[in-house]
Amino acid sequence: MKLVFATQNKNKVKEIQALMPKGIELLSLEEIGCSEDIPETSPTIEGNAIQKADYVKEKYGYDCFADDTGLEVAALNGAPGVYSARYAGEEKSSDANIEKLLKELQNKEDRSARFKTVIALHFEGQLHTFTGICSGNVIFERKGSQGFGYDPVFQPEGKEVTFAEMELSEKSKISHRARATQQLIDFLASTKL
């Protein structure tokens, strides 16, 4: 079965492809000839995921899924949240985003945070959503070189290392994206592919 993953982010494709069971062939936006920037104008993480899935389904006709992820920090009233990728500006610089986050948290005692991923799936004429949460803390300085985004400063609950210090195989067992993806996979498996 062919399913489009509506993202231009090759890191996300790599992470999710590693979790997909045999029998599901993931197609990237590039492979279906979609090179435009898909709008993400919703004020919520859920809304952005649905907006991207709707766009691909309506314009290209494929069954597809899209995700959106945000880092929600308690002491910042849930920020950066839906604005995680462009927290420090429209250029979407991970380094600048991390710098801004660490500066905002400088005098905060509560460093608890959670990553939230929502996957929206258009499948056989219906829309489904799946949500994955990974709770943890924002540490004081960057550690590790794996992963992307806020991974160097996010330490998941119960772990002594950041996402950026973990191998992909370890991160894929506990991450927000892995949890939402597992729900997606379980749903697809239940449809008797």
Out of 54, 68, 95, 110, pick the active-site residue: 68
Structure tokens at 5: 């993953």
The separation between CA 156 and the C-alpha centre of its own chain, rounded to angstroms, equals 15
Structure tokens at 125: 């004429």
pTM over 0.85: yes
- Tens-binned pLDDT, residue by residue, of the chain (193 aa): 889 999 877 777 777 777 777 788 888 899 899 999 888 899 999 999 999 999 999 999 999 999 999 999 999 999 999 999 999 998 889 999 999 999 999 999 999 999 999 999 999 999 999 999 999 999 999 999 998 899 999 999 999 999 999 998 899 889 998 899 999 989 988 876 5
| Annotation says 68 is catalytic | yes
CATH number of the domain that residue 166 is part of? 3.90.950.10
**β strands within 74-193, DSSP E:** 112-123, 126-138, 154-156
Please give the tally of structural domains in the chain: 1
In the annotated binding site, the residues are: 7-12, 68-69, 148-151, 171, 176-177
Nearest CA to 137 out of 164, 113, 162, 110 is that of: 113
Which residue type occupies 42?
Answer: S
Using an 8 Å Cβ cutoff, are 43 and 49 in contact? no
CA–CA dist 160, 176 (Å, integer): 17
Range of the domain at 78: 2-190
